[in-house]
A = this chain, B = another copy of it.
Amino acid sequence: MSNYTVPGIDQNSAKQIIDGLQERLTDYNDLHLILKHVHWNVVGANFIAVHEMIDPQIDLVRGFADEVAERISTLGGEPIGTPAGHVQDRKPLEYPKNKANTQDHLKQVNDLYTQVIEGVRESMGEAGELDSVTEDIYIAHAAELEKFQWFVRAHLDDGTGNIA
């Protein structure tokens, strides 16, 4: 930690917020790598539509990673984003499929999003008591991730609101 942090936030709170942000950074870095992996390996009669749907989401998630990392720096921390670093202390997000058709990939991506969003909402709750700025970043991220999950789920919905 630096000898400075955001004015009006004490060092202990800053440290706690940074811990949450670092977890999200690791998740987002894993997530954008996986989404590109899906983008390359998806096949089937709906190929082009799904292939193209994923790319703008990757840009968003990469922007989220940048935003939480720069918030860490702003709070006086050191964001860790190296490939070795982000697998060291924890299991990276798992994604078991390589080449597969669109529906199979989207089911897997749906599960992945549930995991990532739960992490964001957890950090959002913690940040809310410490720093409105960081909380607001999480709210904006959740909004976009949840909307994309709707896109994913809409492909899987059987027309009656059920996902098999």
Report A's interface with B, CB cutoff 8 A: 1-4, 6-8, 29-30, 33-34, 36-37, 40-51, 53, 62, 65-66, 69-70, 72-74, 76, 78-87, 91-95, 98-104, 113-114, 117-118, 121-122, 124, 128, 132-133, 135-137, 139-140, 142-143, 146-147, 149-151, 153-155, 157-163
Interface SS majority for chain A? helix
CB nearest neighbor in B for A51: B154
Please report the C-alpha to C-alpha distance between residue A92 and residue B85 in the assembled complex, in whole angstroms.
10
**Does B33 lie within 8 Å of A86, measured CB to CB?**
yes
In the assembled complex, how far is the CB of residue A158 from the closest CB belonging to chain B, in whole angstroms?
Answer: 8
> Once the chains bind, are B104 and A80 in contact (CB under 8 Å)?
no
Q: Hey, which chain B residues are within 8 Å of A47, CB to CB?
A: 151, 154-155
Verify A2–B162 contact, CB threshold 8 A: yes
Number of copies: 12
Asked if A92 contacts B99 (CB within 8 A), the reply is no
In this complex, the member of A95, A124, A142, A161 whose beta carbon has the largest number of chain B beta carbons within 10 angstroms is A161
Partner of A99, one of B49, B128, B142, B157: B157
Contact B51 A121, beta carbon cutoff 8 Å: no
Q: Identify 26 residue pairs between A and B in the complex whose beta-carbon atoms are under 8 Å apart, listed by A's number.
A: A2-B99, A3-B161, A4-B163, A6-B146, A7-B114, A30-B83, A34-B81, A34-B83, A36-B65, A36-B66, A36-B69, A40-B72, A40-B73, A41-B78, A43-B157, A46-B46, A47-B155, A62-B62, A73-B154, A76-B161, A83-B86, A83-B92, A104-B159, A124-B132, A132-B139, A133-B139
